[in-house]
Amino acid sequence: MCYGVFPRARVSSLFFHVSARLLALFTPQHHKYCSAAIAGADQAVGKEMIPFEALALGIGQMFCVVVVSFL
């Protein structure tokens, strides 16, 4: 049963990840106002995100997704 489920799960996961990457690659220029609103809100409260903080948050999010998916 695992030999039948694993390839299908792999293909569907690959499809969704490639689709998400393409969407993330080509849509930022269409959401200039949304990005400006987020940046404005961060600036209004005085929050400044350094690159290391963004990296740490991304790694933490990935870790949580992996843990939840295995549980």
User: Is 36 found in the same domain as 7?
Assistant: no
d(C-alpha 71, C-alpha 18), whole Å: 24
User: What is the domain extent for residue 53?
Assistant: 32-71
Domain match, 39 and 69 both: yes
What does the pLDDT look like over 17-68, one tens digit per residue?
Answer: 888 788 777 766 665 666 667 677 777 888 777 778 777 877 887 787 777 7
The reply to whether 38 and 65 lie within a common domain is: yes
Statement: the pTM of the whole predicted model exceeds 0.75? no
Alpha-carbon gap, residue 48 to 53, rounded angstroms:
10
CA distance 39 to 64: 25
List the end-to-end C-alpha distance of the chain, in Å, as a whole number: 20
HEC sequence for 10-26: HHHHHHHHHHHHHHHHH
